[in-house]
Amino acid sequence: MLRIPCPHCGPRDHSEFSYLGDATVTRPADEAPLDDWFAYVYLRDNPRGPHREYWHHAQGCRQWLVVERDTLTHAILGAAPAREASPNAAAASAKDSET
């Protein structure tokens, strides 16, 4: 059993969550070549060790989280709201701090 530390609800059983997938994949631009879209939709790494994943707390606060999980041991290393942990959020935050 995995216990996911929801930042809003505290530690919860993984059965309350729905797994979405790899949180490190970046969506290509709309006008990107078809090969880029093929890679985005179909090709995934199978990492061994710490990995960032999207999880939805479907039976709790209904928030999207980015969970860092070790795929070798299944240890949960941490979790953060997806809107704060996404690469786009980090870029926007850095841009805001410059102004």
Give the model confidence (pLDDT) of 40-92 as tens digits: 999 988 889 999 999 999 999 999 999 999 999 999 999 999 998 765 544 44
Domains of the chain: 3-98 (3.30.2270.10)
Q: Greater confidence, 90 or 14?
A: 14
- Give pLDDT, residue 87: 58
Q: What is the pLDDT of residue 47?
A: 87
Task: Enter the pTM of the model.
Answer: 0.78
Tokens of 68: 């860092």
Neighbours of 79 (CB within 10 A): 23
